Amino acid sequence: MEKLKRTKISDLLKETDKDKVVNVKGWVRTKRGNKNVTFIALNDGSIIHNIQIVVEAGNIDEQILKLINTGACLSVTGTLVESFGKGQGVEIQAKEIEVYGQADPETYPLQKKGHTLEFLREIAHLRPRTNTFGAVLRIRHAMAYAIHKYFNDNGFYYLHTPIITGSDAEGAGAMFRVTTLDMDNPPRTENGQINYEEDFFGKSTNLTVSGQLEGELGALALSLIYTFGPTFRAENSNTPRHLAEFWMIEPEMAFYDITDNMDLAEDFLKYLVNYALDNCIDDLQFLNKMYDTTLIERLKGIVETKFVRLSYTEGVDILMKSGVKFEYPVKWGCDLQAEHERYLVEKHFKKPVILTDYPKEIKAFYMKLNDDGKTVRAMDVLFPNIGEIIGGSQREENFETLSKRIEELNIPTKDMWWYLETRKFGTAPHSGFGLGFERLILFVTGMLNIRDVIPFPRTPKNAEF
RNA sequence: UCCUACUUAGCUCAGUUGGUUAGAGCAUCUGACUGUUAAUCAGAGGGUCGCUGGUUCAAGUCCAGCAGUGGGAGCCA
């Protein structure tokens, strides 16, 4: 007899052709019933919904039924029928069940009842089997796909920037060292320093903190590029918004000024949120019901709202006139604190805000200096609840101005000669920004902790899974 | 890294002024129930009270140190 092919539950629930024999495989969410009939809710991760398996007494060996508990993996063959129970449209009348893997109910940690997200973090190897993580991971996938689709459809090329980098002056934070030297007995130079000339690359290397500098090289050849890859920061940050390993999207565009850059960022974010609403509504509805009943409303709001665009100077003005007593007092030149950003986004405007033209002292060396000589063409996109979701700028394309900034900030140029050469040979106005992928997923899912929107979070003191 | 709160059964949590045998709900196990919807009902088992030390006749409870986790801050995406 020909082997019956497995049908995904997502397809079965759409099936209109009833009374046919199908095979379904998945993991048991709940089992209940009496001595005449047993009901099994089966989920295969293809969709948030389960399919109900109905086992009439006598159809399946009782010994096999006994092996089936929450968490067990089954292959079920049976007839797809319209359900005459209330909770579902269709169900499967089981004819044959093979138990692929049992799950001992005494030790299997996932119960039918809800768990706290903190507990689920301790069992990151099993949490994808929960409704919540299934929904988050499917949305995460959809967003990754939508990012590639958006850029591809708009003429951007996907540039793969290196994970291992030889420059340690990218200025975005502390780095993880990459080495093959024997840490117990490293080679030394004459004055006792570790001799990285004997290391794998013949120099000291680290994991990247940003693909931007290499991204600029790509943009100054292909015009429109983006990167989408893992990024590493060895900062001892313990917050619900930071990871030591996270994914970042960094478009870089030749011939874009700061306004073009803002237009792109706004259009891009709206496209992604809209994509989630169009393609992930089942999962969003689940999250909306279980975690945040204003989620879908808020997502729709983002798509329809025009983001506020405001200079740093205007922002400081609003904060000073607000009469609010902040823990950190505001004055022109200070870096804006979380409380300041939150006031502007959540209290004053109640919508996303793009802040521009920050004082040069509080921003990175590569940002283009404005004519006033005091501010740079930076732009931060601030979202409600999340804070800074995008940071970007028009880049300084003038060789002399850039060299002077690098000198002022005492950045070692030895490892960055290649970056500076782009300003020597056919320099061009260009802009770009970085979007933290997990922060986007936080916003789209309504989750509150960044550790719950990446399958295997890397944070200080945590690399178990 | 700083501030702050928390850590008691598999999970979520009570636990009074320091005082006899540390409780509940859910989960698990056993049984009942003719179609259930995180089924229901009855019964049973289940604890090194985060770790180390201290105070005391007596510590889950008070004190100190350490660890882990949550929240806030800084760094940023």
Residues A75-131 pLDDT 10s: 999 999 998 777 778 999 999 999 999 999 989 999 887 899 999 999 999 999 999
Residue A35 has a pLDDT of 84
Q: Which residues of chain A have a pLDDT value below 70?
A: 1-2, 168-172
Residue A168 has a pLDDT of 67
Is residue A52 a contact partner of residue A91, using CB atoms and an 8 Å limit? yes
Looking across all nucleic acid strands, the nucleotide with the smallest C1' to CA distance from residue A106 is B28
* Distance, Å, A319 CA → B56 C1': 57
* A163, A168, A174, A175 alpha-carbon torsion, rounded to 10°: 30
- A259: its two tokens: 């306004």
CATH number for position A22: 2.40.50.140
Q: Count Cβ atoms within 10 A of the Cβ of residue A210 and give its class: 0-12 exposed, 13-18 middle, 19 or more buried.
A: buried
Is residue A293 a contact partner of residue A452, using CB atoms and an 8 Å limit? no
Q: Is residue A197 part of a domain?
A: no
Q: Is residue A316 part of a domain?
A: yes
* Distance, Å, A28 CA → B11 C1': 19
Which residue's CA lies closest to nucleotide B77 at its C1' atom?
A436
Q: Is residue A114 part of a domain?
A: no
Q: Are residues A31 and A161 in the same domain?
A: no
Q: Are residues A90 and A138 in the same domain?
A: no
Q: Are residues A78 and A142 in the same domain?
A: no
Q: Are residues A244 and A340 in the same domain?
A: yes
Residue A1 has a pLDDT of 54
How far apart are alpha carbons A386 and A383 in whole angstroms?
Answer: 6
* Distance, Å, A384 CA → B72 C1': 17
Q: Is residue A408 part of a domain?
A: yes
Alpha helices in A173-280 (DSSP H): 212-222, 258-279
- Could you tell me the pTM of the whole model? 0.95
Q: Are residues A303 and A166 in the same domain?
A: yes
- A329: its two tokens: 């007092």
Is residue A225 a contact partner of residue A251, using CB atoms and an 8 Å limit? yes
How far apart are alpha carbons A359 and A313 in whole angstroms?
Answer: 9
Q: Are residues A156 and A228 in the same domain?
A: yes
Which strand B bases fall within 7 angstroms of a protein CB? 1-2, 10-13, 26-29, 32-39, 67-77
Looking across all nucleic acid strands, the nucleotide with the smallest C1' to CA distance from residue A85 is B35
Looking across all nucleic acid strands, the nucleotide with the smallest C1' to CA distance from residue A440 is B77
Q: Are residues A236 and A339 in the same domain?
A: yes
The CB density around residue A415, as the number of other CB atoms within 10 Å, is: 16
Question: Residue with structure tokens 């117990």?
Answer: A184
Looking across all nucleic acid strands, the nucleotide with the smallest C1' to CA distance from residue A452 is B70
Q: Are residues A94 and A220 in the same domain?
A: no
Q: Are residues A355 and A427 in the same domain?
A: yes
Tell me how many domains chain A contains: 2
- A388: its two tokens: 């800074």
Is residue A391 a contact partner of residue A400, using CB atoms and an 8 Å limit? no
For residues A50-79, one letter each, b for 16 or more C-beta atoms within 10 angstroms of the residue's C-beta and e for the rest, the string is bbbbbbeeebbeeeebeebebbbbbebbbe
Residue A455 has a pLDDT of 96
Q: Are residues A317 and A239 in the same domain?
A: yes
CATH number for position A301: 3.30.930.10
* Distance, Å, A222 CA → B31 C1': 73
* Distance, Å, A82 CA → B14 C1': 46
* Distance, Å, A120 CA → B20 C1': 39
Looking across all nucleic acid strands, the nucleotide with the smallest C1' to CA distance from residue A41 is B37
Q: Which domain holds residue A50?
A: 9-101
Looking across all nucleic acid strands, the nucleotide with the smallest C1' to CA distance from residue A364 is B76
Q: Is residue A462 part of a domain?
A: no
* Distance, Å, A456 CA → B65 C1': 33
Q: Is residue A119 part of a domain?
A: no
Looking across all nucleic acid strands, the nucleotide with the smallest C1' to CA distance from residue A37 is B35
Residues near A215 by Cβ (< 8 Å), separated by ≥ 6? A159, A161, A225, A226, A227, A250, A251, A252, A432
Structural domain ending residue among the three candidates A85, A101, A117: A101
Q: Are residues A272 and A163 in the same domain?
A: yes
Which residue's CA lies closest to nucleotide B29 at its C1' atom?
A106
Tell me which residue of A170, A202, A218, A132 sits closest to A445, measured CA to CA.
A132
Structural domain ending residue among the three candidates A65, A86, A101: A101
Which residue's CA lies closest to nucleotide B35 at its C1' atom?
A85
Q: Are residues A46 and A137 in the same domain?
A: no
DSSP-derived secondary structure letter, A334: S
* Distance, Å, A440 CA → B77 C1': 10
Alpha helices in A44-189 (DSSP H): 62-67, 117-122, 131-153
Q: Is residue A216 part of a domain?
A: yes
Q: Is residue A121 part of a domain?
A: no
Cα angle A172-A386-A441, degrees, rounded to a multiple of 5: 90
pLDDT digits (tens, 9 = 90+) for A222-236: 999 999 999 999 999
